[in-house]
Amino acid sequence: MIIQRPKIAEYLSLFVMTLITVLAIYNKQITVFYILYLFWWDEFLKTVFDRLRYQLKRNQLVNAVVQLSNTKSRLFMLMIYLVFIIVFFGLILDWNHSDLVLSNFEIFFFKNALFNFSLLTFLLREIYKFRSDSHIGLTHHLLSPGVITLHVSLILGILLSFFLKKEFIVFENYVAVLAIIPFLILKLFFEIKEIQYKQADTKKL
C-alpha cells in the first residue's frame, strides 16, 4: 500500500511561516539575513531528513543511490550558501549598522522568538512527514523548488541592496521592510509548486 505524502503538514507549515513573517514585517523585526537564513534552514532540514530516510528507510526508497547522491550534492551547495549568507547578508551588508549586525547574530544563535517559531514549524513538518512516509519516490535535489527559491532570493537580495541602498539596509520605514515581501512571494510560489508536484508524483507510484 502506498500512502501519499501528507501535504497538510506542508501547507500548514507554509501558512504559519507566512503568518509569522508578516508579523515580523509589521513589527519591523525582520532583516534580509532573517529571511534568507530561514529559507536556508528549511532546505537544510529537508536534506537532513532525506539523509535519515536513506539511513533508516532505505528499503522504502525507489532509488537509494540517487537519494544519497542528491543529499550529498545538496548539502555541499547549502554549505556554500550558508557562508555567503552569513558573510554578505549577516555582516557586510549591515557592517555600518551595529544594531542590525547584533540582530543578525541573535537570529544566527536562535535568540529571535519569531525566527525560532518558524524554524520549529519546519522541524515538526519534517518529523511528521518522516513518520508518515510509506513509499518514498521523490527526493530533493539541486534543482528542487526550495533550492531555486534560495538561489533566486540571494540574487534578489543583492539586487535590492544596490537599488534601495541605505533604505534597504536601515529599515527605518515600512517601504524598506516591505522589500521583504518579494522573498515571501517567491517562497510561497515555489513551495506550493513543489507540494503539488510531489503529490502528482506520489500518485504515479
Residue type, 76: F
In this structure, is residue 1 part of a structural domain? no
Q: How many angstroms separate the CA atoms of 121 and 42, rounded?
A: 10
Which three three-digit cell numbers place residue 127?
518529523
pTM, full prediction? 0.87
In this structure, is residue 162 part of a structural domain? yes
List C-alpha distances in Å: 184 to 38, 117, 191: 11, 17, 10
List C-alpha distances in Å: 25 to 9, 96, 176: 24, 22, 10
- State phi, psi for 203 to the nearest 5 degrees: -65, -20
In this structure, is residue 23 part of a structural domain? yes
> Residue 113's domain spans which residues?
7-204
Q: Helix, strand, or coil here: 103?
A: helix
pLDDT in tens, the chain (205 residues): 344 555 788 899 999 999 999 898 888 788 889 999 999 999 999 999 999 988 888 887 777 888 888 899 999 999 999 999 999 999 988 787 788 889 999 999 999 999 999 999 999 999 998 888 755 655 677 778 888 899 899 898 888 777 665 545 445 555 556 678 889 999 999 889 888 877 665 555 5
- φ/ψ bin of 173: left (φ > 0), alpha (ψ from -120 to 50), beta (otherwise): beta
What's the chain's Rg over C-alpha atoms? 18
In this structure, is residue 142 part of a structural domain? yes
In this structure, is residue 72 part of a structural domain? yes
Residue whose grid cell is 534560495 = 150
Contact 171, 178 (CB under 8 A): no
In this structure, is residue 78 part of a structural domain? yes
* Number of domain units in the chain: 1
